[in-house]
């Protein structure tokens, strides 16, 4: 019987442990902000917009009211499938401008119970009222409409029901990672941090619109709606990231330093798509290979063509998807390959810290004539900022590409970029323990920088950094100190700061430090620092990322304790039974 008791206890223990491990793995593999669910929609709207007039309908309000909406600006006549697949038709042109066949189709549509909103009425205002009509049953949709709604941070994605919940979850996680990557890269959230909606439009072929919401293209096959699988939902196709970059730059200060014209906007969308997909994520060997082909086959060939033909850049069309774009992409990717793709991370940080003003919002994407003074000055400022980020004066390179550098920018000095790496002897100590902290200062190419002062700071959550000492780098570029950690238990950051010199720009590095209470009680709390030297605002705003497993570990311990008590209780009850 004892063997049975032991086996019963062992099985129960294994069950509890497996539950805890499953919870822990789920916490690590799925973002706590990723939620996926099936959503039933009330109706489907068709927006007939043959002229478009550079206007993308913001269908966010439609989806918020449970109405799926598809804008059609690639067809000059109303599609026949509206009779079977759509419940609402929204017209963007007057009835007088409709063709005879369109008018006949609208008559059939109304006879079948469909609702037509003419161009003279505000469709946005009518949508909430139509929702009530469908909810009450006074209006009925032609077919059942179910979409998969996924939330990943600030992204809200409506996937077609052809995608499984598991695939939608994985796709949403990747897109959420991309969104946060672009936020870290740019230093701001697009649309002032408001949610970005991603919806799918099966009416569009080979087209994506940089708008909020982002629209992805699809197709009709044999009467069934589906998103083109060659576009790729899992893993997401590069078009997702391209359009996401546009939205991540929207209404940001960072956009003012790169948004000279349409060519710049599209070039950076392509560059940062490549940066995330190839350099950072590498989630798909097939797509990684595709990125390589894209970079080699388009950017490098375009730059070679530009250099060989001695093109005049001021004669090119700098609009979106025009002649200048591919050559600009070739130049910028060439610089990133030579100086590292983290050049882009530094670009926006350096721009904010500089005195270079961003382009006013009303003038962004308007500098298509580079011969004009304000356009040439904006381009020269961009080259200067890019030089600072790359750690090398790029003005001679751009002059060799036949660009003019304005005199006020030509006279500015370009500092070289340094790199600062921070290392702690331990990331977890007890109050009163010694901690060895070292930082290595190097040039962009990796060679050490000696005889430069590095300051070290301790920063608590929500507090200001306080100095714990300064020291000078040695021949290997290393600066190190050892100090006694005499602070209360909690989470901290160690910050290393190089203030810069006449040659090298400022650099900082940070590392997390967990301080635990000592084993013996202490009635006195001694501050670890004597200096309250303030550091720059940039140091005061370090983001702190806490994983779900870190925040939930007390619950896991509690669950394990309850499980142990349950095992003891069951074992004793079994033993107390008559043999």
CATH 3.40.50 region(s) of the chain? 40-146
On the 0-12 / 13-18 / 19+ scale of CB atoms within 10 A, 557 is exposed
CA dist., res. 480 & res. 520, Å (int): 30
**Start and end residues for every CATH 1.10.390.10 domain found in the chain:** 155-410
Provide the total of helices (H) and of strands (E) in the chain, helices listed first.
Answer: 18, 19
Tell me whether the omega of the peptide bond preceding residue 304 falls within 30 degrees of 0, making it cis: no
- Summarised one tens digit per residue, pLDDT across range 476-520 is 999 999 999 999 999 999 999 998 777 777 788 989 999 999 876
How confident is the model at residue 32, as a pLDDT? 43
Q: Where in the chain is the domain with CATH 2.60.40.1930?
A: 418-545
Both tokens assigned to 194: 């408001």
DSSP string covering 239-302, please?
Answer: HHHHHHHHHHHTT-STHHHH-SSHHHHHHHHHHHHHIIIIIII---HHHHHHHHHHIIIIIIHH
Per-residue model confidence (pLDDT) at position 503: 75
Give the global pTM.
0.66
CA atoms lying within 13 Å on the CB side of residue 450: 3
What is the spatial distance between Cα 15 and Cα 389, in angstroms, rounded to a whole number?
A: 54
Residue 299 sits at φ, ψ, to 5 deg, of: -70, -50
Q: Is residue 100 within 8 Å of 77, Cβ to Cβ?
A: no
- The pLDDT averaged over each successive group of 10 residues in the chain (579 residues) is 49 44 39 79 95 74 93 91 96 94 96 96 95 96 95 90 86 89 93 87 57 45 34 67 89 95 95 80 57 73 95 96 94 91 88 89 95 97 93 94 96 80 94 94 84 93 85 95 93 90 80 87 38 32 32 53 65 61
- DSSP-derived letter for residue 416 is B
Contacts of 87 (CB under 8 A, 6+ apart): 43, 44, 45, 113, 114, 115, 134, 139, 141, 142
Q: How far is CA 121 from CA 61, 131, 364, 493, in A?
A: 16, 17, 32, 57
* Topology at the third CATH level for domain 418-545: Immunoglobulin-like (2.60.40)
Query: Tokens 């996926």 sit at which residue?
Result: 36
Q: How many CA atoms are closer than 13 Å to the CA of 200, on its beta-carbon side?
A: 24
Domain 155-410 class?
mainly alpha
The CATH class that applies to domain 40-146 reads: alpha beta
Encode 496-531 in three state secondary structure. EEECCCCCECCEEEEEEEEEECCCCCCCCCCCCCCC
Q: From CA 199, how far away is CA 69, in angstroms rounded?
A: 9
Q: Would you tell me the crossing angle of helices 238-249 and 262-274 to the nearest 10 degrees?
A: 130
Q: Which burial class, exposed, middle or buried, applies to 288 when counting CB atoms under 10 A from its CB (0-12, 13-18, 19+)?
A: middle
Backbone φ, ψ for residue 307 (5° rounding): -70, -40
Query: 337, 531, 312: which is closest to 401 by C-alpha?
Result: 312
Q: In this predicted structure, what is the pLDDT of residue 25? A: 36
Q: Are 558 and 38 in contact (CB under 8 A)?
A: no
């Amino acid at each position: 019987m004892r063997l049975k008791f032991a086996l019963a206890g062992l099985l129960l223990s294994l069950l509890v442990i497996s539950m805890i491990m499953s919870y822990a793995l789920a916490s690590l593999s799925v973002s706590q902000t990723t939620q996926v669910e099936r959503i039933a929609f009330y109706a489907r709207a068709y927006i007939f917009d043959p002229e478009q007039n550079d206007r993308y309908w913001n269908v966010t309000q439609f989806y918020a009211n449970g109405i799926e909406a598809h804008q059609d600006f690639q067809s000059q006549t109303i599609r026949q499938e509206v009779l079977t697949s759509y419940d609402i038709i929204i017209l963007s042109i007057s009835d007088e401008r409709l063709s005879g066949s369109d008018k006949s189709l609208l008559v059939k549509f109304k006879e079948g119970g469909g609702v037509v909103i003419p161009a003279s009425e505000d469709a946005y205002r009518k949508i909430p009222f139509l929702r009530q009509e469908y909810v009450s049953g006074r209006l009925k949709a032609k077919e059942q409409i179910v979409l998969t709604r996924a939330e990943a941070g600030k992204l809200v994605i409506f996937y077609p029901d052809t995608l499984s919940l598991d695939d939608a979850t994985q796709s949403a996680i990747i897109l959420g990672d991309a969104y946060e990557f672009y936020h870290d890269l740019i230093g701001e959230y697009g649309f002032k941090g408001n949610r970005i909606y991603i919806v799918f439009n099966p009416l569009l072929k080979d087209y994506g619109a940089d708008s909020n919401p982002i629209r992805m293209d699809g197709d009709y096959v044999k009467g069934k709606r589906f998103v083109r699988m060659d576009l790729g939902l899992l893993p997401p196709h590069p078009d997702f990231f391209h359009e996401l970059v546009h939205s991540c730059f929207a209404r940001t200060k960072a956009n003012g330093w790169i948004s000279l014209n349409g060519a710049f906007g599209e070039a950076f969308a392509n560059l940062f798509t490549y940066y995330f997909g190839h350099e950072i994520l590498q989630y798909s060997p097939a797509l990684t290979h595709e990125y390589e082909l894209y970079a080699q086959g388009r950017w490098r060939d375009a730059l070679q063509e530009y250099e060989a033909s001695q093109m005049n850049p001021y004669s090119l069309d700098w609009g979106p998807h025009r002649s200048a774009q591919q050559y600009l992409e070739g130049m910028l990717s060439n610089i990133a390959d030579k100086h590292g793709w983290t050049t882009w991370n530094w670009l926006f940080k350096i721009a904010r810290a500089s005195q270079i003003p961003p382009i006013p919002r009303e003038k962004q994407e308007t500098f298509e004539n580079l011969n004009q003074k304000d356009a040439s000055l904006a381009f020269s400022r961009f080259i200067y900022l890019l030089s600072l980020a790359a750690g090398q004066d790029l003005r001679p390179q751009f002059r060799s590409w036949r660009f003019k550098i304005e005199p006020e920018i030509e006279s500015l000095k370009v500092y070289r970029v340094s790199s600062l790496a921070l290392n702690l002897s331990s990331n977890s100590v007890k109050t009163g323990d010694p901690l060895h902290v070292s930082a290595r200062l190097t040039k962009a190419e990796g060679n050490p920088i000696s005889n430069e002062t590095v300051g070290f700071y301790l920063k608590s959550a929500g507090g200001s950094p306080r100095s714990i000492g300064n020291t000078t780098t040695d021949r290997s570029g290393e600066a190190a100190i050892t100090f006694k950690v005499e602070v209360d238990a909690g989470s901290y950051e160690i910050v290393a700061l190089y203030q810069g010199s006449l040659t090298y720009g400022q650099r900082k590095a940070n590392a997390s430090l967990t301080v635990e209470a000592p084993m013996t009680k202490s009635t006195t709390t001694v501050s670890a620092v004597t200096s309250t030297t303030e550091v720059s605002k940039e140091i005061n705003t370090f983001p702190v990322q806490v994983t779900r497993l870190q925040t939930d570990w007390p619950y896991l311990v509690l669950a394990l304790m309850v499980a142990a008590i349950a095992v003891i209780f069951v074992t004793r009850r079994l033993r107390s039974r008559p043999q």
